[in-house]
Amino acid sequence: MEFRESIKAWLEENCPPSMRTPMPNSEQVWASSKISFPSKEAEEWFKAMTANGFCTPDWPQEYGGAGLNDEEIKILKEELLNINARPAQINFGITMLGPIILEYANKEQKELFLPKISRGEIWWCQGFSEPGSGSDLASLSTSATKDGDHYVINGAKIWTSEANKADYMYCLVRTSKESKQGGISFILIDMNSQGIEVKPIKLLSGQSPFCQVFFSDVRVPVANLIGEENQGWEIAKRLLALERMMMSDLGSEGAVDVDPMKLFKERNLTKETSLYYRIVRHSMRQNAIDLTMSRAAMEARLGSFNPSMVLKYLSTEEVQQRWELNLYALGSIGIKDLESAQGDEFDIIKSFFYSKAYTIAGGSSEIQLNIISKNILGLPNE
């Protein structure tokens, strides 16, 4: 009770009223060496959260965290939710890479990278998929050949989110051809290194969040290797589980959200009974998923259940349904191009297009179903 009251008091003092409202894409604060803020209040909120380690509450204080226990973390998250506080920063280093560094990196690597990640000083991108290695990720061919105290990297990655803005990439590379999965290593690459070329990929929405990245004799220090050489596949599976859990909770990163029922009422669509019942069914499924996620999170902390692929599949499929319903509620406005759309129209149309990537990123729905059938249901591998 004492900790909860202290958190309530701290939030009342440090979270500006404007940071207790829904956050549009244009006001997201991305961790970066060139970090920028849409307002003075956003900067104040960011500095307050990072100074106290509340962006990484479970990390040790020596690495920029708050050193809270499970119960304290639960209380902090509940109180942030109670006041509708915006995420202070959007940072894949926190949600995906940070836990990997904590688990696999050496002391020097932890001291170098973790405080910077917690303080939002690095924009990370993920170098996994390749033009010839998507669902069969273990067939990747981007090579890393050791040359003294460096690796020389050649190859290409694709569908790399925000690579054109990133400071660093955490990347899977092939360090041995003797084993498909056993010849992969996990390495951190400075995106300013000589020999890296980034080409954005324009999507149907007109946006370019994805990129293709080319490596031509890029020299990366051996000191940037995380874990042991050829241990990358083990590390990648752990990181993908973290990514799938993050994608199961697509609201955790402050993504724009529009409630289909709210839009339905605002547009006075009461005669559209078919759409109404579709929205009701969606709301019921989403509530069930949210409750399951809460229960699974508690079980996961006890080490009794790893639900990432199940929840990732259910959640991303339902998120696509949500944006389809929002688009239907817009009616003919929903066929506008993004350049002429405004306000909610813009967010809905853009999010509808972008939502199609959710069931591909982090492992496609088909791959998730294969994993579930084999590893959970025990169905034959045929």
Question: For this structure, is 44 an active site residue?
Answer: no
C-alpha distances (whole Å) from 261 to each of 179, 255, 279, 291, 315 are 52, 18, 6, 20, 18
Catalytic residue among 243, 253, 272, 382: 243
Under DSSP, is residue 367 helix (H, G, I), strand (E, B) or coil?
helix
- Rg (C-alpha) for the chain, rounded Å, is 22
In angstroms, the CA 209 to CA 163 distance is: 8
Which helix (H) or strand (E) segment is 112 a member of?
A: helix 107-118
Closest CA to 167 of 93, 110, 244: 93
Under DSSP, is residue 138 helix (H, G, I), strand (E, B) or coil?
helix
In angstroms, the CA 106 to CA 112 distance is: 10
- Report the length, in residues, of the chain: 382
For helices 232-248 and 308-330, give the axis angle rounded to 10 degrees.
40
The one-character DSSP state at 122 is -
For residues 142 and 132, the answer to whether their CB atoms sit within 8 Å is: no
CA angle 285, 288, 290 (to 5 degrees): 110
Q: Is the dihedral of CA 330, 331, 333, 337 positive or negative?
A: positive
Residues designated catalytic: 243
